[in-house]
Amino acid sequence: MGAAGIPAGQSGLGKSTMVNTLFKSKVSRKASQPSQEERIPKTVQLQSITHVIEEKGVKMKLTVTDTPGFGDQINNENCWDPIIKYINEQYEKYLREEILITRKRKIPDTRVHGCVYFVPPTGHWLRPLDLEFMRRLSKIVNVVPVIAKADTLTLEERAEFKRRIQEDLKTHAISVYPQEDFDQDPDDRVLNDRIREKIPFAVVGADQEHQVNGKRVLGRKTKWGIIEVENPAHCEFPLLRDLLIRSHLQDLKDITHNVHYESYRVRRLNESNGPALSPLNGLPGKGEGGSDL
C-alpha cells in the first residue's frame, strides 16, 4: 500500500522543512551540511523520498516529491509547467501499464494523490500567481492549500486570511480538496464540511526538537517563546498530517484514480483516436496545458 504527495509553492516557504516534519526525518541532500544546525538549502530539482510509515498497525509506503520553489522570477508565466508535466508523466506511466495486453496484477502506482500548495502568509488575499497555479493544478490533481510559515500571523489575522482565501477560491471557482462534488453521502458531507471550514490549514514546520515542560517536542525556538508544531493551539500541522496520512488517505487515492486519472485517460485516448497508443515522445498529450482544461 502506498501513496504519493507533492508540496508546491514559492521558494522559501518551508516546503522541504514540512516534508521533514511529516516524516520526522531528514531528506538526503547533495550539499554538505554545516555542523551545528541542519540548514535546509534551496531545493533545485524534483527529489523523491519514500518512507514506510505505520498507521494503526498498517504499514504504508509514503512517497513525497519535493519541488523547487516556483514564482521567483520577474516573469513567472508558465512556472507551473514543470509540476504539471511531472503529474501527467505519472498518469502516463500508469496508463501504459494498464493498456498492456499482459499486464501486471499490481500496477506500480506513482501517481500523485495530493498536492499541498503553500500560500505565503501575507495576510491579504491570494496573489494572481497563487490563483493561476491552483486553478491549473486543481484540474488534474487533488490540491490541499495551506498557509505556510503561519507563525507570522496572530490568531485573528489567521482567521481573517482564511476567510479571504475561502472567498477567493469560491469567486474563482477553484475546487480544492475535499471537493464538494465528490462527497459520497450525507455523513461524508458533514465530515468534509468541517474540514472545508478550516481550509487552508495554517501550518508551521520544524525538524528540530526542543525541551518544553519536560517533554521533547518538534518546534521553533524564538526569543519570545517556542512554537510547538504538534500543538493544535499553536498551529494546524496536526490537522494536515491527519488529513493526509490518516483519515483521508484512501479518499485521496480514490479520487485520484476515479476522477483525475480517468479524465487523463479519456483525454489521451481521444487524442490517439483508439485504444492502441502510438509511441510517444515522452511528453503527455499536447492539448493538456491550456486549451481544454
Partner 1 sequence: MVVGESGLGKSTLINSLFLTDLYPERIIPGAAEKIERTVQIEASTVEIEERGVKLRLTVVDTPGYGDAINCRDCFKTIISYIDEQFERYLHDESGLNRRHIIDNRVHCCFYFISPFGHGLKPLDVEFMKAIHNKVNIVPVIAKADTLSLKERERLKKRILDEIEEHGIKIYHLPDAESDEDEDFKEQTRLLKASIPFCVVGSNQLIEAKGKKVRGRLYPWGVVEVENTEHNDFLKLRTMLITHMQDLQEVTQDLHYENFRSERLKRGGRKIEDEEVNKDQILLEKEAELRRMQEMIARMQAQMQMQMQSGEGDSSAVHGHHV
> CB of residue 42 vs partner 1: minimum separation in angstroms?
5
Question: Which position among 13, 64, 112, 146 is part of the footprint of partner 1 (CB under 8 A)?
Answer: 13
Q: Considering the complex, what minimum distance in angstroms separates the CB of residue 225 from partner 1?
A: 3
Between CA 132 and CA 79 the distance in angstroms is 10
Nearest 5°: phi and psi at 255? -65, -40
The DSSP code for 291 is: T
- 35 burial (CB, 10 Å; 0-12 / 13-18 / 19+) is exposed
Contact track, partner 1, 50-79, x by CB under 8 A? ----------------------xxxxxx--
Q: Which is nearer to partner 1, 93 or 135 (CB)?
A: 135
222 is a site residue for partner 1 (CB under 8 A): yes
168, 230, 254, 271: residue in contact with partner 1 (rule CB under 8 A): 168
Using CB under 8 A as the binding rule, whether residue 234 contacts partner 1 is answered as yes
Chain centre to alpha carbon of residue 166: 18
d(CA 187, CA 203): 27
Give 146: exposed, middle or buried? Use CB within 10 Å, 0-12, 13-18, 19+.
buried
Q: Which of 62, 111, 68 is nearest to 86 (CA)?
A: 111
- Nearest distance in Å: CB 196, partner 1: 20
Q: Decide whether 225 or 287 has the Cβ nearer to partner 1.
A: 225
- Binding interface with partner 1 (CB under 8 A): 10-13, 37, 39, 42, 72-77, 120-132, 148-149, 151-152, 154-155, 164, 168, 171-172, 220-228, 233-234
